[in-house]
Amino acid sequence: MALSERDRIGEEGAGAREVLERLRQASVNQSVDDMSRLYAVDAVHEFPFTAPGFPSRLEGRDEIVNWITALWTTNTLRYERYRTLATYDTDDPETIIVEQEALGTSASTGEFALPNIVVLTVRNGQIVRLRDYVNILAAAAAIGRDM
C-alpha cells in the first residue's frame, strides 16, 4: 500500500502514521534498538494521566528508552498487538491523534485490552513528542493492582 503525501513528511523520514506503526512493532518485539531509532535525541514522552510512582514526563531519548526497557523487564504485561479505533489528522501534518487499544497478556490477570489516546508528533521520521493518555485504571487492573 502506497503512503499518502501526508504520511511522508520531509525527505529524511517517515510521517506520523508510519512512525506509529514502527513504535507499535518495537513495543510488541520489545526492541531496544528500534525504540532508540524511533525517538529523537530531544524527544519528550508525557503521561498526562499518571499514578503515584510513575513519571508524568520523560525527557530525551536516553531517559525514555531506559524507562521503557526497565518497564519491559519488571512489568507483567506483554503487548501482542494494537487495535486502532480512530486516527485524526491535525492542522500540523507531523502530528496525529490516535484512539487505540494495546492488546496482550498479563502474567497476573490473563488477557487485557489497554485503551489509550496518543498524540504523536514526528520530525524527520522520529518521535519528538508523544503524549500518552493511557487509562491508568485499566493498566492497574491488567497488572492485578487496585487503585
In a domain, 147, yes or no: no
In a domain, 56, yes or no: yes
The edge-to-edge listing of strands for the beta sheet with 126-134 is 57-59, 39-46, 126-134, 110-123, 95-106, 77-89
CATH number of the CATH domain containing 15: 3.10.450.50
Q: Range of 42's domain?
A: 5-142
In a domain, 124, yes or no: yes
Counting other chains too, the contacts that 52-61 makes at CB distance below 8 Å and 24 or more residues apart are 61/36
* Residue-level pLDDT, tens digit, the chain, 147 residues: 444 443 333 335 789 999 999 999 999 999 999 999 999 999 999 999 988 888 999 999 999 999 999 988 887 788 999 999 999 999 999 999 999 999 999 888 889 899 999 999 999 999 999 999 988 777 777 777 765
Q: Which residues pair with 78 in a beta bridge?
A: 105
- What are the grid coordinates assigned to 117, written together? 489516546
Question: Model's pTM, two decimal places?
Answer: 0.85
Q: How far apart are CA 22 and CA 39, in angstroms?
A: 11
How many domains does the structure of the chain reveal? 1
Q: Which residue has the cell 489509550?
A: 116
Q: How far apart are CA 26 and CA 57, in angstroms?
A: 20
Find the distance separating the first CA and the last CA of the chain, reported in whole Å.
43
